[in-house]
Amino acid sequence: MPIPSSATFVETPHRRRPPNLLTLISIAAVASAFAGIAREVIGHAIADRLIGADWVSNSPFFAQVNPPARLAGACGTLSNLVLGGLAALLVRVDKRFTSGWYFLWVFGCVSLMNSGRLLYSAISGAGDLSVVISAFNPPWLWRILLAVAGIFIYRPALRFAVTALRDLLVRGEVAYRDLWRLMLAAYFTASVLLTAGAVLNPVNSGLVVIGVVGASFGLNFGLLIIPAFLSQPVESEPIVTRSMPFHWFWFSFGLAAAVAFLAGLGRAIRF
């Protein structure tokens, strides 16, 4: 009786199925919740301890501080940018489309696209970064500089999102027709979760919640324009995205992470 070779158990492109949507949403929920909690814990809590800031509003989205500790308002965004950069480096290590890759990609995108808060603060005059420049004169000049910085820093975030997906397309790990499935799962999960966190935060007023809705869906808007920078590769044979079936681990982990985030885990942790 012949012994089956190892190649028999290797998933061939023809046997692959599109990634399970519920699994993608679950992974995106974990990544988005981690980004929000990390922003709160690593950014705001460390600023609270090291700078001695007196937080008036300690939510995953806004942090108004009393002077003179105005620099603390930038710590949440800076922590996301640093962690997002680390995730971007890790994505370059393994270029296979796996659940771990998708988690790092979503976490990196959501974290790095937080640089859009600079533009949001410049336009609205609210948010973390508005606190930093509130004492600088002339205010209109600093708001312009803040807006320019937000646009300039947002570009590497978008470049990371596009380049990582382009590598998978070239390697045949992801089919072009499945790109929207990956991006929409990440965009709506992250935006809805961050917005829900603001709605459930008792400190935030109605106007703040409205602002967060725009900020949450606006910050991650770069995910929706990724296809504009990607062209469908010339395929000698049809490419099918590497399978990612429904997995109870990611479903449970995503549910637990979302509940922890919405329950205010980041606001509860202090050093």
Q: How confident is the model over 154-191, as pLDDT tens digits?
A: 888 999 999 999 999 888 888 888 999 999 999 999 99
Give whole-number Cα distances, 81 to 61, 75, 167, 203, in Å.
15, 10, 22, 25
Classify 88 as helix, strand or coil: helix
**Alpha carbon 114 to chain centroid distance?**
8
Q: How confident is the model over 257-269, as pLDDT tens digits?
A: 999 888 876 555 5
Given pLDDT bands bounded at 50, 70 and 90, which one contains residue 25?
very high
Q: What is the pLDDT of residue 50?
A: 58
Could you tell me which residues come within 8 angstroms of residue 220 by beta carbon, excluding any fewer than 6 positions away? 109, 110, 113, 186, 187, 190, 191
Q: What is the pLDDT of residue 162?
A: 94
Q: What is the pLDDT of residue 165?
A: 93
Q: How confident is the model over 64-90, as pLDDT tens digits?
A: 444 434 555 577 778 888 899 999 999
Give whichever of 25-29, 61-65, 215-219 has the largest mean pLDDT. Answer: 25-29
pLDDT of 53 over the 60 cut: no
Cis peptide, bond prior to residue 227, ω within 30 of zero: no
Give whichever of 21-35, 45-59, 130-144, 254-268 has the largest mean pLDDT. Answer: 21-35
Q: Distance (Å, rounded) from C-alpha 42 to C-alpha 181? A: 31
Q: What is the pLDDT of residue 1?
A: 45
Whether the CB-CB separation of 203 and 57 falls below 8 Å is answered with: yes
Q: Distance (Å, rounded) from C-alpha 168 to C-alpha 95? A: 7
Q: Region 105-124: what's the mean pLDDT?
A: 81
